[in-house]
Structure 1
Amino acid sequence: MSNAPAAAGPAAYVPPPPLTGSARTWGTIALSAATFMNVLDTSIANVSLPAIAGDLGVSPNQGTWVITSFAVANAIAVPLTGWLSQRVGQVRLFVLSVLLFVVASWLCGLAPNMTTLIAFRALQGFVAGPMIPLSQGLLLSSYPRVLAGLAMAMWSMTTLIAPVMGPLLGGWITDNLSWPWIFYINIPVGLVAAGVAWSLYHKRETPTRQLPIDSVGLALLVIWVGAMQVTLDIGKENDWFHSGVVVALAVVAVVGLALFLVWELTDKHPVVDLALFKKRNFWAGALALSVGYGLFFGNVVLLPLWLQQYMGYTATQAGMVMAPVGLMALVLSPWVGKNLSKFDPRKFASFAFLVFALVLWMRSRFNTQADLATIMVPTIVQGVAMAFFFIPLVTITLSGIPPERIPAASGLSNFVRITAGAFGTSIATTAWENRAALHHAQLVESIQAGNGPAMAALQGLSTAGLTSEQALAQVNRLVDQQAFMLAANDVFLVSAIIFMALIPLVWLSHPLPSTAGSADAAAGAH
């Protein structure tokens, strides 16, 4: 009998039962809306940068710090989610995160100069950090075990569609209203999401405990993540490791990471729960998800760049080419979620990687005569891969993790994924430019007196009234177009090969307890 009080203590915390009926529907809508708003803000400012930079009197290069400041602060805050949620409570932290995001968005819209805007964007990115991991945890607690796959399907649809919608919505708002409205639109969405979430979840709050602040771990996290993110953002402009600044930042990032790992693995109350990597399903799932996402995101950035710079597409047209990527994902994600309990999620993830590889192989066959339909087909097919990608891999990653550690696990896996996306973008664009320089040199070598077609082209341009310099400039533009197309093909083909190589990684994870239990595992034993 003397043990009875202990049984009722925090150690015996029993998660509340799943929501039912309209409460579950509204909970899903509120959590998804907050996630959508957050993910949208990572890409909505991209197409508005020229307008923002012009209005605030700075160069477009300086304007890129509007994106960088958000990304750096967000990357620092995401892995802190598990630690913060234990101190504050998951529901309170989520609602507070949404409300602070609304305030930061309002301040961004009011910013009178670039310095202030960058500061408010950093604030916005930091307070947004816990939103995505906690929305995962709260959504899983809202659904019974057997429907956990469906819950993850609802969640993943917002994270898949928002990055595509961002540039389209940002462009339309900038053209038809003014750039501050890309931030103001968050205010009504955030207030409604916070209000609904609080009304439904405040009685389902998780227990809290007063953990000491790991100030050394937090400081090291800020230093190495900040240095790494800035290295990735300014590297290409500064010719990477030919720049002393980039080298210094990279050294700070590597040394900071090494010290951070040593400190966090030996501290009693680490700010980031690295012990999660001892679980095979966590590290195998997180690694497969992150590398796959990095490849996907790098190519999502590369395709519109190539279309706009070398195929004559406007920003809106390039956005329209990317828009259908979410169509098949929207249609298939609910089916994948409902049927995840009947299949081994490793098979679904393997299928996703095969389809991604097929899509990128199709793109590697593009040429400068590719019409809109040819470019659109792989984009539509890619939606199939996306539907089978996020849900099974998140299920594998979070399998077998108890409810109280779900925020920490979700925060850490999302941090690795976001970081991989930043790496993917930098590597893809740098490789594209380097390969283009190589192809340009090889193509130029063939333009000489002995090359009949090249001489005929120059002769034709001269006959049309161009001077020899103008004719050579015109030929150089054609060579540039061809070189960057061939370079894009190279990046697409290598990405396809890496996707194929990721399939064995998925199978390093343990099979989930049973096919019927695959959704249970995702729910983290709720």
Structure 2
Amino acid sequence: MLTVSIMLATLMQTLDSTIANVALPHMQGSLSASQDEITWVLTSYIVAAAIATPLTGWLSDRLTVKRLLTISVVGFTIASALCGLSETVAQIVLSRLLQGVFGAALVPLSQSILLDVNPREKQGQAMAVWGMGVMVGPIIGPTLGGWLTESYSWRWVFFINLPIGVLALAGVAAFLPAKEPKRGIAFDTFGFATLALAIGALQAMLDRGEQLDWFGSKEIVIEALLASVSFAFFVVHTATAGKVSFFKRELLRDPNFAVGTFFIFVVGAVLYATRALIPPMLQNLMGYPVATAGLVTAPSGAGTMVAMLLAGKLLRRVDARLILLAGMSISALALWQMMHYTIVLSPSDIVWPGVVQGFGLGLVFVPLSTLTFSTLTAELRADGTATYSLMRNIGSSIGISIVQTLLTRYTQVSHANLAAHVTVFDPTVQSMLASSSRLGMAILDQGITQQSAMIAYVDDFKLMFVATLVAIPLLVLIRSPHAPSPGDVASHAAID
């Protein structure tokens, strides 16, 4: 029951990372907002969650895990209701900020709790259950959001969190053991302020860069400078602050945790970038309705769920690094299939590569989570899970920003290259221009634009394919889990 309650809270938060995307046009009309204003509905949530995530470790020590999780679930549920009741852009942006602040701790806390309440031999299965909420939520979010928006209203994209939040709160209150808070914990204000400013500026830059033409905009330049300078101050401060440091340097001394956080960065970039590319490709190039686009992309979530259940059982018998290798290889295979997409695709051409990629990512996520925390002491888990979640989110933001930017540029370059080979001496072009010059030119330009956009999508898939292959050799840096440490034994004894 505790696992179910925790996963409800996790699913609620991960769904909201993508469920509102498809409802933005409806929100824009209902709230009389401009395009620039309505994007802050997404940006405010992402930035607030990114800034608040690093606080999870300190707050869990100061308040205890149960109190912090209770506050987070209650705050997130109330903020969701406020989002659904909003009548102006300012109200919904403020409500989304609250959602991000309260929801930031849900994912890292859920992972930390499941690692604590399960002995080492069952942690693989626990990570499989946790991974379902984290990985499947963002995948089914757009499909569920599109259905709720079309069938009811965009407000139900937020109201759906209310029953989930109530059930999660009841379960946490009833089944999560209470502990005594740690007293006398110093807070590194300067360290947190510099890290929060760096993360907030980076997320804002990544989210708005494509709209504002990147460094052609003063806003993006200012955000880039803020992120760079703040992060430099944070690194220097952390290296010289001694024991009173916001970021626990012991995390980086654990090779498994350091390599694992890099891998989750890559997984976040590849997964979310692919999810960001496929729906607009289907709708803009191939004329798929929103609902149909959601239906053909949703089966990838089924592949992920099956793989996670399988990986949770295999971890007892097979070296986790071999499962991780298989998952990375299968994910690369799916991207290789996507590299061969053309402008003419059947639904099965979309479904099966998505299922293959979902299956591969499911095999990656479970052993990766298990190996990353297998050598980390129980005292560092709350901070470790917060850092782990933060790197996944930053990876997804960077991945989406890169592929969207390159998509625009690749389309322009491909259009110029294709147009250069179109001449009036070509018999096909002559036949198109024979009846009506303007109509023929418009049809020809539309065809060139579609083909150039398809080439750009394929080039993006190639980039992600290469990034996945480059990350595979780093598996040699991960060590096999050792026997349970005294900290783990003490942790389980205290829970029991």
Q: Is 1:227 matched with 2:201?
A: yes
AA of the residue aligned to 2:56:
T
User: Aligned equivalents of 1:116 and 1:187: distance in 2?
Assistant: 18
What SS class does the counterpart of residue 178 from structure 1 fall into? coil
2:466 to 474, 488, 497: 497
Cα distance change of structure 1 residues 317 and 370 upon mapping to structure 2, 3 Å threshold: same
CA offset digits 1:482-511 (Å, max 9, x no partner): 001011111111211221111111221223
Residue number in structure 2 paired with 1:506: 475
Distance in 2 between residues matched to 1:252 and 1:319, nearest whole Å: 38
Matched, 1:470 2:439: yes
**Deviations 1:426-445, CA, capped at 9 Å, x for gaps:** 00111111111111000101
Q: Does the 8 A contact of 1:149 with 1:522 survive in 2?
A: no
CA 1:499–1:524 in 2, change beyond 3 Å: closer, same or farther? Answer: farther
The aligned residue for residue 57 of structure 1 is 32
Q: Does 1:94 align with 2:69?
A: yes
Q: Is the 1:27–1:139 Cα contact (8 Å) retained in structure 2?
A: no
- Give the residue type in structure 1 aligned to 2:300: V
| 441, 446, 450: which one aligns with 1:481 | 450
Post-superposition offset of 1:111 = 1.7
Tell me the distance in 2 between the aligned counterparts of 1:209 and 1:457. Answer: 79
Tell me, yes or no, if the aligned pair for 2:115 and 2:123 is still in contact at 8 Å.
yes
> Between Structure 1 and Structure 2, how many residues are aligned?
491
Offset at residue 367 of structure 1 (A): 0.8
> How much is the aligned-residue C-alpha RMSD, in angstroms?
1.9
The equivalent of 1:265 in structure 2 is: 239
2:118 alignment counterpart: 143
The farther-off stretch of 182-191 and 272-281 is: 272-281
CA distance in 1, matches of 2:41, 2:190: 28
Q: 1:521 deviation in Å?
A: 11
User: How far is the alpha carbon of 1:274 from its aligned partner?
Assistant: 3.8
506 and 206 in structure 1: CA distance in 2 versus 1, 3 angstrom threshold:
farther
The equivalent of 2:402 in structure 1 is: 427
Aligned match for 1:392, one of 367, 374, 380: 367
1:522–1:36 distance in 2 versus 1, CA, 3 Å: farther
Structure 2 CA distance for aligned equivalents of residues 86 and 272 of structure 1 = 14
Equivalences for 1:200-349 in 2 at 5 Å? 200-203=175-178, 205=179, 207-267=181-241, 268-349=243-324
Report the Cα offset of residue 269 of structure 1: 2.6
Distance 1:141 1:283 in 2: 20
Counterpart amino acid of residue 203 in structure 2: Q
Write the distance in 2 (CA, Å) between the matches of 1:186 and 1:523.
36
**Contact preservation (8 Å) 1:398, 1:522:** no
1: CA distance, partners of 2:32 / 2:224: 31
Q: Give the C-alpha shift of residue 206 in structure 1.
A: 5.6
> SS at the partner of 1:365?
coil
More displaced stretch, 482-491 vs 244-253: 244-253
Q: Distance in 2 between matches of 1:376 and 1:251?
A: 42
Q: Of 401, 405, 422, which aligns to 2:376?
A: 401
* Runs of 4+ in structure 1 over 6 Å off: 519-525
Question: Among residues 77, 81, 86, which one is paired with 1:106 in the alignment?
Answer: 81
SS in 2 for 1:43: coil
- Say which SS state the counterpart of residue 389 (structure 1) adopts: helix
1:330 and 1:387 in contact (8 A); partners too: yes
Residue 190 (structure 1) aligns with: 165
Instruction: Say if 2:53 and 2:105, in contact at 8 Å, map to a contact too.
Output: yes
Question: Match for residue 13 of structure 2?
Answer: 38
Deviation at 1:366, TM superposition (A): 0.9
Letter of the 1:305 partner, please give it. Answer: P
Counterpart residue number, 2:430: 455
8 Å Cα contact 1:72/1:125 also seen in 2: yes
Question: Are positions 1:48 and 2:23 aligned together?
Answer: yes
1:50-81 per-residue CA deviation (whole Å, 9 max, x = no partner) reads 11111111123321111110000001111211
Measured after TM superposition, the shift of residue 524 of structure 1 is: 11
- Could you tell me the TM-score, scaled by structure 1's length? 0.90
Distance 1:490 1:360 in 2: 11
Which is greater in Rg?
1
Is it true that 1:159 corresponds to 2:134 in the alignment? yes
Gap regions ≥5 residues in structure 1: 1-25
Aligned mates of 1:183, 1:523 — CA distance in 2: 41
Counterpart Cα distance in 1 of 2:281 and 2:422: 24
The residue type paired with residue 378 of structure 2 is: P
Give me the identity figure in percent.
34
1:335 Cα offset (Å): 2.1
Shift of 1:263: 1.7
- Note the C-alpha offset of 1:221: 2.2
Matched letter for residue 425 of structure 2: G
How far is 1:297 from its partner? 1.1
Contact 2:76–2:102 under 8 Å retained in 1:
yes
Amino acid at match of 1:187: L
Give the 5 Å matches for 1:103-142. Answer: 103-142=78-117
Deviation per residue, 1:362-399 (Å, 9 max, x gap):
11111111211112210111121022111111112112
Aligned residues of 2:307 and 2:360 also touching (Cα < 8 A): no
Instruction: Confirm or deny: 8 A CA contact 1:148 1:522 kept in the other structure.
Output: no
C-alpha contact (below 8 Å) 1:406/1:524 kept by paired residues? no
Task: Determine the C-alpha separation between the residues in 1 that align with 2:249 and 2:107.
Answer: 19
Give the secondary-structure state (helix, strand or coil) at the position aligned to 2:211: coil
Contact 2:323–2:367 (CA under 8 A) maintained in structure 1:
yes
Deviations 1:452-505 (A, max 9, x none): 33333333xx2xxxx311211111111111001011111111211221111111
Counterpart CA distance in 2 for 1:445 and 1:435 is 15
Offset of residue 523 of structure 1: 9.9
SS of 1:120's partner is helix
The structural deviation recorded for 1:212 is: 2.3
Q: Using the TM superposition, give the Cα deviation of residue 32 of structure 1 relative to its aligned residue in structure 2, in angstroms.
A: 0.5
Shift in CA distance, 507/206, structure 1 to aligned 2, threshold 3 Å: farther
Aligned equivalents of 1:213 and 1:57: distance in 2?
Answer: 43
Match of residue 4 from structure 1: none
Tell me which residue corresponds to 1:20.
none
- State the alpha-carbon separation in 2 of the partners of residues 451 and 513 from structure 1: 69
Partner of 1:358: 333
Q: Separation in 2 of the partners of 1:416 and 1:455?
A: 54
In 2: Cα distance, 1:431 partner to 1:88 partner: 44
Deviation of 1:520 after TM superposition, in Å, equals 12
Give the conservation status (yes or no) of the 8 Å contact 1:286–1:416: yes
